[in-house]
Amino acid sequence: MDAYQALTLAGTTARTAAAMTGIARSSADRDRRRPGPSRPPRQVPANALTPAEREEVLRLLDSP
């Protein structure tokens, strides 16, 4: 993507830059407009199992 941006900043048309780098113009444009992460990081649910509880469940499921 850096090569595409360098080419367009140097004055190359988007069509030519896309052809030279093999990147679709729509992908480059979408990446350029994306300001940052689309979503905040997921939070751990309040009812999530603790590591000890998870180990116990897995131990019970794996037992014969």
pTM, rounded to two decimals: 0.47
Q: Has residue 32 been placed in a domain? A: yes
Q: Is 52 part of a structural domain of the chain?
A: no
The pLDDT of residue 46: 95
Give the integer Cα–Cα distance in Å for 28 and 43.
30
Per-residue pLDDT at 35 exceeds 80: no
5 in any annotated domain = yes
* Residue 59 tokens, joined: 């131990």
Q: Count up the domains in the chain and report the number.
A: 1
Residue 1 within any structural domain of the chain: yes
Which residues constitute the domain of residue 9?
A: 1-36
What is the rounded average pLDDT of the residues 13-37?
A: 83
Phi, psi of 35 (to 5 degrees): -75, -25
Per DSSP, the three-state class of 45 is: coil
pLDDT band at residue 48 using 50, 70 and 90 as cut-offs: very high
Residue 57 lies in a domain: no
Residue 47 has pLDDT above 70, yes or no: yes
Q: Is residue 27 situated within a structural domain?
A: yes
Residue 51 lies in a domain: no
Kindly tell me the burial class for residue 1, based on how many C-beta atoms sit within 10 Å of its own C-beta (0-12, 13-18, 19 or more).
Answer: exposed
Any residues with CB less than 8 A from the CB of 14 and at least 6 apart, and which? 8, 25, 28, 29
